[in-house]
Amino acid sequence: MITAHGPLRTANCPQSTNLSTLLATLVRMKKLIFLALLLAVPMLAQEAPVKQLRRATHERVYNDTTRLAALLRDAQSNINYSDAVWKAISNESSSLANRIWAGTAGNNDAHAAAKDLRMHVREMRDAALKGDATSARTHANMALPYAYTIIDWSYPPAVK
């Protein structure tokens, strides 16, 4: 640009140098602030308290155990189930018993009851797969008290 005093040299002008330095510093500052925020966000995120995790585990164990108890109760009836029905009941019962056993790992009494429950459910499954309905009903009957013990342990607290 040409002025009355001659060409304007912005490269040699101290004011333009200060402005470009200032702008470069601001850009660096924005980048640093952005990085600091990215690092700070995970630190501010709260993990679920232990009580909430336990409550969720207890609810899962409670739901699985009540479902298993209903299956065991139904298996004790004198209805003549087909082999396919016995297989389905025993497989689902075995799956639920394994989940219950895994969910009671923190409590010795509940875990011992879950271990016995799982043992009787496995024996019921073996008998059902062999076609021995009487033995399967007997093991379902033996497993029920352990299921009730776990239901009592995992019963959800009263809503306030």
Range of the domain at 109: 52-154
Query: Do 40 and 57 fall into the same domain?
Result: no
Residue 158 confidence class, pLDDT cut points 50, 70, 90:
low
Strands 2-3 and 6-7: antiparallel
Q: Give the integer Cα–Cα distance in Å for 75 and 142.
A: 12
Q: Does 86 or 51 have the greater pLDDT score? A: 86
Asked if residue 19 and residue 87 are part of one domain, the reply reads no
Say which residue the tokens 């024996």 belong to.
123
Q: What CATH number does the domain containing 145 carry? A: 1.20.120.660
Q: Is the pLDDT assigned to residue 36 strictly greater than 90?
A: no
What is the C-alpha R_g of the chain?
34
What value does the mean pLDDT take over residues 65-77?
93
- Same-domain status, 40 and 56: no
Q: 59 and 38, same structural domain?
A: no
C-alpha to C-alpha distance for 65 and 149, rounded to whole angstroms: 10
Residue 159 lies in a domain: no
Q: Please determine, for residue 1, whether its predicted confidence score (pLDDT) is greater than 60.
A: no
Average pLDDT over residues 89-94: 94
